[in-house]
Chains A and B, each alone.
Chain A
Amino acid sequence: MTYKKRFDGREYDETRKIEVKAGVIKRADGSAMFKIGNTVAYAAVYGPRELYPRFMQDPEKGILRCNYNMMPFSGSGERVRPGPSRRAKEISMVTEKALLPVVDLGDFPNAVVDVFIELPQTDAGTRCAGICAASIALADAGIQMKDMVSAVSVGKVDDKLVVDLNYEEEAYEEGPVADIPIAMIPSTGELTLLQMDGEIKKDELLKAFEIGKKTLLRINEIQKKALKEKFKLEVE
């Protein structure tokens, strides 16, 4: 019961400051930057393009290939062995599965859409920031998709239900902490990502979902606005 006020002075259901920009990488077919507090994610989309090696091709539909990477200098500054770690591979996979329900690659058999997510600066909530950036980048690339996926982490710090935990809260030691990243398809309300670190009671979890869903709808509006902003800028 000692956690009375959040470390950075936010409300319990308030996210960190979000900044979004679409089309930041000119060479890519689609790209976006998603910044939430001190976590920054860049996503670049290439394709649909030919897929090799051939055994990976699917003659029925195109495949989505995500690559999540935290840059070596992004976290505490400790030496990081280059190449994908076990953690990065897992997050690449869950990102792919979070995005796959919305993208429609039926028109592109044997092809691939590559999504590269890079994080130059991290302060918890990276997979959520990555998914948000990736779905804007996919839309920017002109890929057919039902909706733009939004993601945020919800959870419990001590006895308080909170959204968008930062690293300080994730590492809180005086009480139990639960960190639950969720991703949602806003138009249907379906969840496409649900993971958990820590422990939480069932009724609290359901309550956390409710808060999370409200937050996700707000994040989705920001994503949509950012993508439209790109075309407004070109007008001037």
Chain B
Amino acid sequence: MSELKVSEKDVVVPGEVIAEGMDFLPSSGTYRLGERILANRLGIIRIEGKVIKLIPLGGKYCPKKNDVIIGKVKDINFSGWMIDTSSAYHAMLSLKDATTDYVRKGADLTKYFNIGDYLVTQITNVTSQNLIDLTMKAPGLRKLRNGRIININPYKVPRVIGKQGSMVTMIKKATNCQIIVGQNGVIWLQGTPEGEILAVETIKKIEKESHMQGLTDRIQKYLDDNKLKNVNTEEERPQHHEEKYAKSEKVNEDDL
């Protein structure tokens, strides 16, 4: 006689009874205590047949292999860079994973990445002690110049990206911004000042309302209501030349 105590997509808190009886199976974020299944953390309930799953609503980013993240250079040592991943641990980017150049022993590594630079980078390995290795050797991985950085809850990243990138594409089109979303909840955007502001507002709205129904429609409406006056989506955007921006490097940090 198993019985569910909550319904699909309900918000549950730690220690809340989700189901009673042995017919259900606890999965990630839940545990069994005697006959009952209880929530292990704050999240939303998903029921897949017999399996009860909990999608976390918040928390720090948990590094995973092959994730593309945006990190900040925190320190430089002889053989590479220490990167802040905005998780509980920092990551190491070793020299041989960063460049194909021949670099002499003891050379100045700041000419590649300096302290404070933001990088789009990929996680290659995470050990049991959460030592993280990174690489820059994959398409799309680069140092970020100009634009602005915002931080969001990493568990909302899939909602900001949308199905096959539908959501982020929608924002890009409406605001004429370039946007890179890191799996760790760090987002880089670049465009006109107005476009950037609208994009930031939209992303914050998604972050706030993502656990509710009809998100895409609401965001589409929000973007239509706040349409930029002279966005010409037909217009060819200037190509991104790294040399061109190298001198006026500026990164705005807006992490509130």
Contacts and interface: CB of A to CB of B under 8 A. Distances in A.
Contacts of B17: 187
Contacts of A140: 42, 58
B59 A228 contact: no
Contact of B15 (A59, A62, A146): A146
Interface stretch (B163-171, B175-183, B207-215, B241-249): B207-215
A141 B153 CA distance: 11
Interface stretch (A25-33, A69-77, A155-163): A25-33
Interface string A169-212: 00000000000000001111000000000000000000000000
The B contact surface, by secondary structure, is loop
Given A108-B130, A140-B42, A29 B14 contact: no
B62 interface: yes
B256 A26 contact: yes
B61 to A, nearest CB: 10
Interface in A199-236: 220, 223-224, 227-228, 231, 234-235
B42 A109 contact: no
B57 A142 contact: yes
Given A50-B89, A145-B40, A187-B33, A231 B57 contact: yes
Contacts of B89: 50, 110-111
B15 A30 contact: no
Contacts of A142: 41-42, 56-60, 155
A146 B38 contact: yes
Nearest to A23: B58
A139 B59 CA distance: 9
Nearest to B40: A144
A130 B96 CA distance: 50
Interface string A62-82: 100000000000000000000
A155 to B, nearest CB: 26
Contacts of B211: 231, 234
A47 interface: yes
Contacts of B231: none
Contact of A186 (B11, B15, B62, B130): B15
Interface of B: 11, 13-17, 31, 33, 36, 38, 40-42, 56-60, 62, 88-90, 128-130, 155, 208-209, 211-212, 256
Given A139-B14, A139-B42, A141-B59, 12 more contacts: A29-B60, A108-B88, A110-B130, A111-B130, A141-B58, A145-B15, A145-B41, A187-B36, A231-B11, A231-B57, A235-B209, A235-B212
